[in-house]
Amino acid sequence: KLQEIQRWLNVVDPASNYSSALRVRAKGTGNWLLKGPDYSNWKEGSGGALWLHGIPGCGKSVLSATAIEDIEHLCETSNDHALAYFYFTFSDSEKQNLSNMLLSLIGQLPKRPSDRGLPGEIVDLYNSTKAVGKPADTKALQDLLSQIIKGFKKKTFIILDALDEVPKSERKDLLSWLTKLTADHNPESLSILITSRPESDIVRSVQPLATFALPLQSKTIDPDIRFYIRNSLDSKDEFRGFTQEIKSEIEETLVTGSQGMFRWVDCLLRVLQECITPEDVRQALEELPEDLDSVYLRILDSIPKRQKEYIRRAMNWLVFSAEPLTLGQLAEAIVIKYDVNKYGHGSKTLFDQSSLLSICPSLISFEDARNDESSPQEDRRLRLAHFSVKEYLISDRAAQGPGAYYYISKDKANLLMGHACLSRILRHSAPGTISGKRVERTSFLYHSARYWFVYTRSIEDPAPAPLSDAVVKVLELDKEWLDIYNPDKLYSPDPEPYPPAIYYSSLLNLVTACEFLVNRKADTVNVNAQGGAYGNALQAAAIRGNESLPRLLLEHGAEVNAKG
């Protein structure tokens, strides 16, 4: 049971973000923060909240890792200190969730002061929620975290990175919790470090509660940027043949033009390492783009014509997929050509999956390693290299500028992703296909079975008729789809025999599919058919809170008092 509770608390893994940030930190950077009076006072003196804020790409996440490493050393030498941290991540919806953050912080804190095991209040909350299939109430998690913090002898440190990577629609609750947390605890017993961009809602909430606020301006960051450039030029094989004179020119030009942006410097170092003569380097330095938008446009423009469509498809997945895809999944997804009239046809394959990364390495990178550092490359998840890449691709600036070919809208992305998932499932179920083999969770087929309804549900109204037809076909596949992933299994441990398609269309809130099914001849669809965790389609529809679905089922003969 202890392991089950640990899995519940560790639903996401912030340690992977931390280790990734440490790997890219250049030796000698961040010392200005650790030796500064504000950080020292936050750590050893008055405590309270320390807010590091700055523009995109200025190295905030690496500074978070620097602080985490420093506080870890303090906790190792003092049993009456505790540390918990969390990295909000634009590329993973599970790391943009207040409840998941609270669970993670709770899971980290009890282990810091002693090895006495999990406190009884954690076990009690698990038994009353997760153990019986209920989500934990956010307020209950907040209260539990506060109770644990108050139980420590001296000081608790909480470090939260990248608040701005939480969608604005979700951020209000997070900021309200931060305000309440600081009000409920003595600053001498709780020190909180927060990093973010200075976005208006964050400024309004965080600035009043920050005991210390450090703007990450160019004059503060430039020495670290110089360290980073010098370290890259001296350590990377690609720069080994460059003369010291050329290296000095690169260093001075990039420091001067960086305006405090590590991200800008990193992208341009990748461009410069491709130069093969001093003249090429000097010309490239004369033509440096002024900002990140210009950097990304240059990188996208340089993609060979035959590869542009594959990269555009890849960007749709990297920006809007429900879960980050592995290299193997993405390689299979991008070769499925979007044709609204065709589903389930055979697809091409890439000669080399890793070629995806070589086309534009400044824009795509491997996600922070999760539980298994030794996973084969094709099973490692991919993400956009930086939040600013996503912002550019979905911006009006991209839509209306020379990079319009790569502009991505959420609806079009969901259409492309929904089509690809439906195609993959229908190809798997086609006659002559070998079935019965266990489908690996890292396969694109599993992702398709798990998320096709997430993508198609959001575009049901404007969806083309052939896509709606494909949705119904998948719903009626029965075992061919549900043996791979059964959404009802979350609530019913032994769902077989599977309920009919009308049940799943109701459970998944697929209104258009449900309308199609109930408007068939009465003898082909039984709206009162029994089965599933909720007993029948009406009960499954009611649990989703969408009034139109229960009304539709009642209009077509669903019985309110039917056994369910």
pLDDT string in tens for the chain (564-residue length): 678 888 889 889 899 899 989 988 988 899 999 999 999 999 988 889 999 999 999 999 999 999 999 999 999 888 788 999 999 999 888 899 999 999 999 999 864 434 446 777 888 888 888 876 678 889 999 999 998 888 877 889 999 999 999 999 889 999 999 999 999 999 889 999 999 999 999 999 999 999 999 999 989 999 999 999 999 999 999 999 999 999 999 999 999 999 999 999 999 999 999 999 999 999 999 999 989 999 999 999 989 998 999 999 999 999 999 999 999 999 999 999 888 888 877 667 766 777 777 788 889 988 765 554 556 778 889 999 999 999 999 999 999 999 999 999 999 999 999 999 999 999 988 765 655 567 888 899 999 999 999 999 999 888 899 999 999 999 999 888 999 999 987 655 555 688 999 999 999 999 999 999 998 765 678 889 988 888 899 999 988 777 889 999 999 888 887 665
The predicted structure's pLDDT at residue 463: 84
Q: Give how far Cα 415 sits from Cα of 319, 444, 455, Å.
A: 14, 17, 7
Alpha-helix runs per DSSP H in 374-496: 387-393, 396-400, 410-428, 444-457, 465-475, 479-482
The predicted structure's pLDDT at residue 374: 58
d(CA 351, CA 2): 45
Strand partners, 399: none
Q: Determine contact, residues 195/162, Cβ cutoff 8 Å.
A: yes
Give counts: helices (H), strands (E), the chain. 28, 7
Q: Determine contact, residues 303/314, Cβ cutoff 8 Å.
A: no
Parse the chain into domains and list their residue ranges. 2-216, 219-288, 308-450, 486-555
The predicted structure's pLDDT at residue 113: 39
The predicted structure's pLDDT at residue 116: 45
**Pair type for strands 382-384 and 364-366:** antiparallel
Domain 2-216 and domain 486-555, same fold? Reply is no
Task: Write the DSSP assignment of 41-94 as a string of letters.
Answer: HHHHSS-EEEEEE-STTSSHHHHHHHHHHHHHHHHHH-TTEEEEEEE--TT-GG
For residue 42, give the nearest of 193, 177, 181 by alpha carbon. Answer: 193
Strand partners, 195: 52
- The domain 486-555: what is its CATH number? 1.25.40
For residue 369, give the nearest of 382, 350, 386, 388 by alpha carbon. Answer: 382
The predicted structure's pLDDT at residue 255: 95
The predicted structure's pLDDT at residue 114: 41
**Architecture of the domain defined by 2-216:** 3-Layer(aba) Sandwich (3.40)
If you search the block for the tokens 């299939």, which residue do you land on? Answer: 133
pTM exceeding 0.85: no
Question: Cα Rg for the chain, rounded, in angstroms?
Answer: 26
The predicted structure's pLDDT at residue 368: 63
